[in-house]
Amino acid sequence: MKDNKQKVQIEVSDGAAIPTKKDFGLFTAWHITLIAALSILLYLVIRYPDPYLDILEFVSDGIVVTFEITFVSIFFSLILGLLTGLGRLSKNKCINLIASIYVEVIRGIPLLVQLFYIYYALGSFFKVPPFVAAVTAMSICYGAYMGEVFRAGIESIDKGQTEAARSLGFNTKQTMFYVIIPQAMRTILPPVGNEFIALLKDTSLVSILAVGDLLRRGREFATESFAYFETYTMVALIYLLITLLLSKLVSITEEKMRPYDN
């Protein structure tokens, strides 16, 4: 007797939970969490300006650095991811092998180890500025994940699109960049947004390289004032608020990119 049960693919991401109207529980939880986090932060800053307002002012430049690292890293990881995704789909065995080895090696090494390696190990041969080391490690690490996102997105496009483009006289390169990739963006953008949020949270690791990000500035304030509980409470609330806002932005983007049902 044949098993006619439908196979269900379970996808678990290391990024943020994206609220959608279809998931009523998560959609409602997002609003409750946002209001609660914002209310707590405002209450602490207004009711107890010393030390909470002082902490917020002290770490404000660290928030800017966190976003700088995130945006620069996501830019380079997208470029690296696109090249890796195309390499993974290449019929050239050498290019395919190189791209596949890159994905396997990078995804098999923790980001923290990569940060140490680029800053300290390579630093034994030539000096790598902390900011450059942080961006390099984040870009290389997330480039491997982005590569799989691009590969899956490109493979999701029906083969008939390629055949139609070739029948119109497009060569392989034109077909990929003018026909396949633009259509694949509908599939690619939501997981890219998810990885963007995951990357932002992982920037907290760059504090070990003396980069003045949000967590690093928080640690500096806590060390000077010994207000560890208050400092890390504020840092946690700021990360939470940023993540919630970005997850909502990804949700809106996903809704806009989703095709309308007939």
Q: What is the pLDDT of residues 224-254, one digit of tens each?
A: 999 999 999 999 999 999 999 988 888 887 7
The first and second tokens of residue 98, run together, are: 């190189």
Query: What is the domain extent for residue 71?
Result: 64-232
Q: What is the pLDDT of residues 21-63, one digit of tens each?
A: 666 666 678 888 999 999 999 999 999 999 999 999 999 999 9
Count other C-beta atoms under 10 Å from residue 14's C-beta. 11
C-alpha distances in Å from residue 131, one per residue of 69, 128, 206, 226 = 8, 8, 8, 27
Q: What is the pTM assigned to this prediction? A: 0.83
Q: Is residue 70 part of a domain?
A: yes
CA-only gyration radius of the chain, Å: 22
pLDDT given for residue 68 in this prediction? 95
Q: Is residue 199 part of a domain?
A: yes
CATH of the domain at 134: 1.10.3720.10
Cα gap 130→138, rounded to integer Å: 12
Q: Is residue 256 part of a domain?
A: no
SS3 177: helix
Q: Is residue 99 part of a domain?
A: yes
Mean pLDDT check: name the lowest of 14-23, 60-69, 123-132, 195-204: 14-23
Q: Is residue 191 part of a domain?
A: yes
SS3 153: helix
Q: How many domains does the chain have?
A: 1
Q: Is residue 228 part of a domain?
A: yes
Q: Is residue 20 part of a domain?
A: no
Q: Is residue 73 part of a domain?
A: yes
